[in-house]
Structure 1
Amino acid sequence: MERYARLYASFSVKLAAALISLRDMNAASKLLLKLNERNPLDESVVRHLMTIREQTGDKKGLTALYTDYVRLLSRELGIRPSEEMIHLYELLVSRFSDKK
C-alpha cells in the first residue's frame, strides 16, 4: 500500500508540473493541495504550490505557504528548510518587486 501511495504522489507531482507548464494553474493547484493534505512535509509539492502562487500574483499566499511550511518543519522535525527551498522562496518573492 505504501508503494502505491508513493507512486501516486510521484505521478501527481509530475502531472502538476505539466499542468503548470500548460498554464493550467487551477487544475495544478487542486491536485497539489490534495497531495499537500496527505503529506504537508513533501517539499516538492510545496515548491510547486509556491511557483503557482508567484505566477498568479499571489504574494501574500506565497509568503503564508512558505511561512507555514517553515513552522511545520521546525515543529515536526526540528529542522530548517533546504537551501534550495530558501533560495526558491527568495527568488519568487524578488520577482514581485521586479514587476513594479
Structure 2
Amino acid sequence: LNPTGTVVGAFPHCVYEEETIRLEPDDMLVAYTDGITEPENAYGEEFGLDRVLDLVRRHREETSPQIIAHVMQAVEHWTAAAELPDDMTLLIARRVG
C-alpha cells in the first residue's frame, strides 16, 4: 500500500482512497506516523522510511513488539534528543499461519 491523501483526521471532509489487499502468511503491515520517519539528526537528515523498512526487514523473525522497540530505539539514537518534538506511533500487524 502506498500512502495517499493528507493526514487522517486532520480535516473533517477529506476523501481518502480505499484499497484491499490480501496478507499472505508471514506478511506484515507496518503503519506509522511521520514522527517515526521525519526526526532529524544533528546534520538535518531525516530518519526516513528506508531506515524503518531496513530495521523491519532485519528483525522480521522477532516479535512485533521487539521490532517496534528496535525502530523506536534507532529513531531516538538518530536524533540524540532528550525529547522528540512529534508523536511517534508505529503499528505492526502480522498474518500468522
TM-score tier by shorter-chain length is 0.3 to 0.5
Q: Comparing both structures, which one devotes a greater share of its residues to strand?
A: 2
Q: Comparing both structures, which one devotes a greater share of its residues to helix?
A: 1
User: Could you state the TM-score of these two structures normalised by the residue count of structure 2?
Assistant: 0.32
User: Could you state the TM-score of these two structures normalised by the residue count of structure 1?
Assistant: 0.31
Larger radius of gyration: 2
